[in-house]
Structure 1
Amino acid sequence: METNHSLNTLNWSDTAETGKMRFLIAICLALFSVACAEPVKFIDCGSAEGKVLTVDIHPCPTQPCQLHKGQSYGVNVTFSSAVESQTSKAVVHGVILKVPVPFPIPNDDGCQSGIACPIQKQKVYSYVNELPVKTQYPSIKLVVEWELRDDSGKDLFCIKFPVQITS
């Protein structure tokens, strides 16, 4: 009877220690992924209703970012809003020879991309989304134009940054 109690206690301790280790590993991985996000040089292309503070793309160790076909890239835009808005919608284009071509993203709803809506005036937000690069895309240099529009269709932010799509 004592042996079972000791084993149960030992198993409980091992389980608790294993849980603690898993938690610490998860925290370290999360911090590592944030630390690996690369600040990207960008141009503000008309953020009428907000101000862009930082743009990070992961992974993007060199600029212009090398986007490999068949992979997805994390995009994080930190911005402050100058207006209130109940909704927000992302619109993304690849600009090739000054011609904007729609660049579909998995979720265009900014309120489901790290932003707690309604958006409040003078608050800082971190918009987080994925930029999937389809295998059908040509290998080409282009400029990504990423807008987040408020409920009146005006840009909370508009950024442009160069990329190169590669195999």
Structure 2
Amino acid sequence: MRRRAFYKLLLAKMWPPCFLASDFDCGNTLKFMAVKVEPCTTNPCQLKKGSRVKFSFVFSADQDTDTATLDSRASILGINIPIPGVETNLCEKIIKCPGQIVTGSFTLRVLNLPFSSSIVRVRIYADRGLTSCFSFPVDLVR
């Protein structure tokens, strides 16, 4: 617990301004230390349709794993829909597996979707199941 607080403080110093996502109950015991969404300086995060968005994250791994899968979804009218264009195989291009402190980032183009507000939920699965998750609100703007 102390170690995670130390990393959160360190990340806040390294990544100002840092958008910290919220933890949500997804059945795991591990929480993300920090998530940064660029460009995002407000809450909810305002993302321009058609623009590119960079997601950076840090968390402490709760297991040694050779695989890590990213599942990202947007809640639209209460239905969780997979976000297209997100690399799902984290170990292949985004993070180093296995690892104790996991850092990674990826870039995604914001699609021109008909909705404007949503909650994005991201889960990471490893060899032994769910390892971590986070969520954040977004507003899609023109």
Structure with more helix by fraction: 1
Over the residues paired in the alignment, what is the CA RMSD in angstroms?
2.1
1:66 shift after superposition: 0.5
Cα 1:37–1:116 change in 2 (3 A) is: farther
- Higher relative contact order, structure no. (Cα contacts within 8 Å, ≥ 6 residues apart): 2
**Structure 1: 4+ residue segments shifted above 4 A:** 34-37
Deviations 1:111-161 (A, max 9, x none): 1344111x24xx1111212232112x1241100011111124x22211111
- Larger radius of gyration, structure 1 or 2? 1
1:65 corresponds to which residue?
45
1:85 corresponds to which residue?
65
TM-score by length of 2: 0.79
Structure with more strand by fraction: 2
Tell me, what secondary structure is at the counterpart of 2:31? Answer: strand
CA distance in 2, matches of 1:97, 1:73: 23
TM-score by length of 1: 0.68
Say how many residue pairs are matched: 129
Residue 17 of structure 2 is aligned to residue 42 of structure 1: no
Of all paired residues, the percent bearing the same amino acid is 23
Task: Could you tell me which runs of 5 or more consecutive residues in structure 2 were left unpaired when the two chains were aligned.
Answer: 1-13
1:100 shift after superposition: 0.3
1:95 shift after superposition: 0.8
Mapping of 1:3-14 within 5 angstroms? none
1:108 shift after superposition: 1.3
2:89 corresponds to which residue?
109
Task: Could you tell me which runs of 5 or more consecutive residues in structure 1 were left unpaired when the two chains were aligned.
Answer: 1-33
